[in-house]
Each structure stands twice: as structure tokens, then as C-alpha cells.
Structure 1
């Protein structure tokens, strides 16, 4: 059974895409299933290939990395891989929902670890630019630490739905929903389900404010 993570690579430099693809062929457990030089194709490609993570450059003509993040981050973790260590750019991309910001001279093993961490719901920052994003990470919604599956359950918990109702709406086993709720309680430090629902409702409202 193939359990490799599926990655979409986006960069306006064709040679870099080829190089990264060859690099990942040497890393077990990660497969490049699609590449493109056009940021505008990111969401359709990510959906079409059912990828686990999107890796994009920041500065590109037309649809840039910020737009890619805004297009894809609600459905897929998006890692930004770039040469720019600009403080404003880092903060803007993280605030927009990027799951990580890495510099292109990162070691292959570190990049692979970053991809796995992003898929697990983590926020990954290159140590050389982490200080730029410190304030942004603190201000970012606490829901950013949730996985996509947890986020879906969280939105329904905030509405007061029971595990059975949530399972029905999301087409999940009730036990799976229960496990997600347990993770939400742990991650958000809520003492019980009522406190969790109130906290989630407030966080979701703040995101759209």
C-alpha cells in the first residue's frame, strides 16, 4: 500500500521545478504528483491530484504565492519555498494562512520534514526567518493549529451539533468524530464540550471579522 505524501510544486522557473522533482525522487515517502509554473492552476491541480500539500514560490508573475495561499489554504496545507527573507512578506503569507515559510537553500531532509509537519497540521518556519513572523503567529487564529479534518468538525461543534449529527453531515464514523473532538479539547485547552463550542464560535467569528 502506497502511503507516500502527494505534493504539488509551483514555481515560475521550469528548471527549478525539474530540480526539485529529481530531488524528491531520492526521498522516500514523498511524491511530486504535479508541477506548474502558473499559480492560477494551483487549486484545480491540487484538487485533481488529491494532493496532501502544496509547495509554492512566493514571488511569481501573475498569480503569486500570496494568491496561491489564499486560493488553496482552506483545503490544503501550503508551504512557501522561496529565496526572499523579507519580514513583511513572511508576515503577510503566514497571516494569509500559509502552513510554513522556507528558504530555497534548505537541506532536502529538512524540507521533507517540513512537508510532513505541515500535513500533520503544524506551522513550519525556517529558523532564519522565524523572528520575522513571531508577532504574526501570535496574532493568527488559534484554529491555524488544527488539521483540515479537525477544522471541519470544529465548525460543527461551534454550532452545538452532537457527534452523531456531525458524523452524518461529514460522512464520518461517530467514533472518528469523537476522536477529533478529543483532539480539539486537548489542542485548545477547553475543559469540556460547552467551553469548546463557545471558544470555537468566538475564534471563527474573529476570523471573519
Structure 2
């Protein structure tokens, strides 16, 4: 198992590699999208997490992220590296299924901590002993990373699945975006629009079976009856 760092800047790759190796991780480097896709397809050294530069040579990081989500290992966690202030890139990355993003210039140590957090969260869900969560037609099997509606699998990104699992485990409890960022993402700080984007995408994928309600002025809840909002807006 290895961490894949894909960036066309060799200095960035070298710094990130050294920090990750200090944490005892094996690192593989690529400099463009085509080589990255080839590395992801190589089963000899399975990638447990990919760090992708949004602006690397084609295909760019967002396209590679989409390819991961539609490929044979769609649950591979993805962290995007985006240029400072490029909000559109961050939103596109989250919509493509990225689990996290870090803006350039960044602290290598912060990135290493984000890697640890994403991997820890993924492992915690896999190891969870509660085998099945159900709400009406929705069924989630956290250990196998599977969500179904009426028995049909629903394609969710790892973070969307984490969010759904958290909400199902806390029905009718209201959580602010800050609280969801801390509980689901493991972040003590970050862009709150990350939560908004994931709520919107999760509602869209679950369709009329979702019960994510907006509690105006407070946050979100699963199956809260007294929203007064219809629960349709992020």
C-alpha cells in the first residue's frame, strides 16, 4: 500500500514525500495525469490514498479524481491540491468526489495531518461493528462501504457515505456545518461550503428517499419533523 502524490512540481513532490515518509508511509510520485492513471491501474502497489494537483498536465487532478470514482477502486480517498483563492476548483473537486483539499501554498505538516485524518476516518468506518443501518428504502452497510436504495447500490463518494452514516446514526439531531465539519471530516477549521456541497450532492443521489432537513439558522438533521422548510435547500 502507498500514498500517491501527483504534481508536476518536483519540489512539491519531494517535500510532501519526505513528510509522509517521516510518518512511516510509502510514497509513489507522478508528474502528470496520464502517468497517474497508469499508476492507479497498477495493482502491484495498491494506492491507499491519492494526493492530486488540480493544475497538473492533462488530465488534470479533477479529471483524475472523476476517473478514480468511476474506476475499479472508487473508494480510494482523494485529497486535492488547489491554488489559493481558486474557489471554483475546490467546488468542482468536491463535486467530483474529493474527500479533502489543501490550498497552495500549504504547510507540508498540515497536509500530512490531513492524510492521517482521512485514512483514520476510512479505517474507522471499515472497522465499525454495526453491520447495517436502515431508514425506509435506504440501507447502508458501513463495513463494506455500500449504500442501497430498494436493494440497488447507490454510487457515493467515501465522504458522502461517511456523512450519510453519521446522519443515520444520529436521527433527528441537529448539527451545524461547523459540527459536521468536525465530526465527519475531522477538521477543526475549514471552508464550511464543503459541508453544503456534500449535503446537496447526497440529497441529489438519494432523491426523494433522503430525509436531510435544513433547520434554518441551526444546520441539518436527518428526519427532523419540525423544520418548516421542506428540507430541500442546502
TM-score of Structure 1 vs Structure 2, range by shorter chain: 0.5 to 0.7
Q: 2:39 is matched with which residue? A: 45
One of 66, 72, 87 as aligned partner of 2:68: 72
Gaps of 5+ in 2: 124-140, 153-161, 172-202, 208-234
Counterpart-to-counterpart distance in 2, 1:19 and 1:117: 19
Give the alignment's Cα RMSD to 1 decimal: 3.5
Q: Per-residue CA shift, 1:102-123, capped at 9, x if unaligned?
A: 023333332122112223249x
SS in 2 for 1:68: helix
One of 157, 167, 176 as aligned partner of 1:188: 167
SS in 2 for 1:59: coil
Query: Aligned in 2, Cα 1:84/1:147: closer, same or farther, shift over 3 Å?
Result: farther
How many aligned positions are there? 145
- Whether 1:154 and 2:147 are equivalent positions in the alignment is yes
Counterpart-to-counterpart distance in 1, 2:95 and 2:143: 17
Larger helix share, 1 or 2: 1
Gaps of 5+ in 1: 123-145, 162-182, 193-201
- Counterpart contact for 1:154–1:184, Cα < 8 Å: no
Counterpart-to-counterpart distance in 1, 2:66 and 2:99: 12
TM-score by length of 2: 0.51
Q: 1:95 is matched with which residue? A: 95
Which runs of structure 2 are paired with 1:81-160 in the superposition (5 Å)?
Answer: 81-119=81-119, 120-121=121-122, 149-150=144-145, 153-155=146-148, 158-160=149-151
Shift of 1:38: 1.7
Counterpart-to-counterpart distance in 2, 1:85 and 1:25: 29
Counterpart-to-counterpart distance in 1, 2:38 and 2:113: 26
SS in 2 for 1:53: strand
SS in 2 for 1:12: coil
Larger strand share, 1 or 2: 2
Counterpart-to-counterpart distance in 2, 1:191 and 1:23: 36
Counterpart-to-counterpart distance in 2, 1:12 and 1:60: 5
